[in-house]
Amino acid sequence: MVLIAAAVCTKAGKTIISRQFVEMTKARIEGLLGAFPKLIPAGTQHTFVETDSVRYVYQPLEKLYMLLITTKASNILEDLETLRLFARVIPEYCCSLDENQIADNAFNLIFAFDEIVALGYRESVNLTQIRTFVEMDSHDEKVYQAIRQTQEREAKNKMREKAKELHRQKMEAAKKGVKPAFGGSGGFGNSNPYTPVAPVVGDVANSNSEVKHQSTSSVKKSVATGRGMKLGGKSRDVESFVDQLKSEGENVTNANAQHKVSTGHKKAAVKVNEDEVYLRQEEKLVVQMGRDGGIQQFELSGLITLHISNEKWCRIRVQLDNQDTRGIQLQTHPNVDKELFRLRSQIGLKQPAKPFPLDTDVGVLKWRLQSSDESLVPLLINCWPSESGDGSCDVNIEYELTHSDLELADVNILIPLPMGCTPVVSECDGNYNHEPRRNHLVWSLPIVDSSNKTGSLEFSAPKAIPNDFFPLTVSFTSKSSYANIKVADVMLVDDESPVKHTVESVLFPDKYEIV
């Protein structure tokens, strides 16, 4: 096929956006678009109309038309398939199919059109690939952001150390009865060097004796006179830690001593407690399978991060329980003792006298697994659309949990639908929701585990073909470990006495598709 142009226009003939794919004058393309409304035959069901030189292939979108202009020698079946893809792209970027929404998202739509057609010829892409290309997800950008976040954390650590040094100098000057060189008595206008006025988070206040015994009247007096906060001290460390959490996109809640992490996939609440060592075990899955079976991509990546909020727990070791039998590749941090990990499955520093960093998320162990073995896929999805004689499709979808030791929560299977299609569901295990604006049917299951390892959904869709229902996208969360690697214990280096700790484990798909 040779595609001349793609456009979205009103039924009155007004062009909202238009993308030209071959060399042609502006007057010529405007003339072709202007002639289109006059050529539409009244009272017919045709979706194309021809002139002496070109063919118009169009599809109604509520009060609009999605229009393709092709040569007369173009294959009409390919034209219709391409038109259907163009029509599916528009709801991806527009909340509603009206003129204002199309105009507001014109640039994104044009970029998406360019991914479908190049130099007049259709590219072999699907809707998911178009979305990925337009978003332009850059590995270099991720590396830059990671480096920048590391530099920001280092700068905050240096600032905290400098604050402690200034506080130490002020305390020494106060003992000698000499005013410090860097400020008046008490520093920064605060007449009482021992009165910290800083926010505390949850249980941290319980271990800070200065804050615990501080009178309410002294706090009010300091605030009322407009005097600043004391640099250094434990309360200042807590404030810096809170600022660091906020700068990394985390919401801190003072009332219940926990903050909910807003980045990633539904991270659980993290208790900020000086008496605890916090470990987070995160695993991501990338799965891509063919609609007729067979695995195209499978990759598992995992990471254990360690966070210590009290310096008395910085010299520790973490005991792991590794029951993996699938050959997962493990890699420890360069500062971790590899021999200790190999012989005893313990994570400890090469220099036992050296502590782990304080108030910092440290990645201590990561793993990776790539395979083409279909048995490794935890949740198999089988989508079977069958065409009926009246132009509709009967669709049967079933899932099967192949790893009975996993418990998947909030499982959502997103099924694309043709433009304007209203599915009729005849059978459903779980719940379903039709999203007409996005042309999706969402099959939802609160829990998938060994008690409901299989389930099915059946529905019919009018005016559809089997390709309309792909790619399927799957999302879920799980507190189970796919790699069978668990944190068994945390102990001190000196006497191997146990240390109170919290472990959070999460498994989620980074991409899970049936194409």
3-class DSSP string for 449-488? CHHHCEEEEEEEECCCCHHHHCCEEEEEEECCCCCCEEEE
Given this model, what pLDDT does residue 245 score? 53
**314 SS3 class:** coil
Which is higher by pLDDT, 238 or 55?
55
Measured distance CA(359)–CA(79) in Å, rounded: 59
Token couple for 179? 């005013």
Cα 181 to Cα 187: distance, rounded to the nearest angstrom: 9
Portions of the chain given CATH number 2.60.40.1170: 264-374+482-514, 379-477
CB 90 within 8 A of CB 61: yes
Confidence of residue 425 (pLDDT cuts 50, 70, 90): very high
Residue range(s) in the chain whose domain bears CATH number 3.30.450.60: 3-135
Q: Out of 55-64, 80-89, 135-144, 228-237, pick the least confident.
A: 228-237
Residue 213: the pLDDT is 42
| pLDDT band per the 50, 70, 90 thresholds, residue 510 | very high
306-333 pLDDT per residue, tens = 999 888 899 999 999 998 888 899 999 9
> Is 134 a residue whose pLDDT tops 60?
yes
Give the mean pLDDT of 137-163. 82
d(CA 331, CA 367): 6
Higher-confidence residue of 294 and 215: namely 294
- pLDDT per residue over 196-254, tens digit each? 444 433 343 344 444 334 444 443 444 444 444 444 444 445 455 556 555 555 555 44
Classify 186 as helix, strand or coil: coil
Q: Tell me the CATH number for domain 3-135.
A: 3.30.450.60
Least reliable range by pLDDT among 46-55, 62-71, 96-105, 140-149: 140-149
259 or 140, greater pLDDT: 140
| Chain mean position to CA 210 | 41
Backbone CA torsion sign across 305, 310, 311, 312: negative
pLDDT confidence bin for 74, thresholds 50/70/90: confident
Percent of the chain scoring above 70 in pLDDT: 79
Provide the residue type at 36 as one letter.
F
More confident residue, 348 or 194: 348
User: How, if at all, do strands 277-289 and 501-514 pair?
Assistant: parallel
Cβ distance 509 to 338 under 8 Å?
Answer: no
Q: Mean pLDDT across the stretch 243-270?
A: 45
CATH class belonging to 264-374+482-514: mainly beta
379-477 classified as CATH 3.40.30.10: no
How far does the chain reach from its first CA to its final CA, in angstroms? 24
Instruction: Provide the pLDDT confidence category of residue 389 given band limits of 50, 70 and 90.
Output: confident
Write out the DSSP string of 77-121: HHHHHHHHHHHHHHHHH-SSSSHHHHHHTHHHHHHHHHHHEETTE
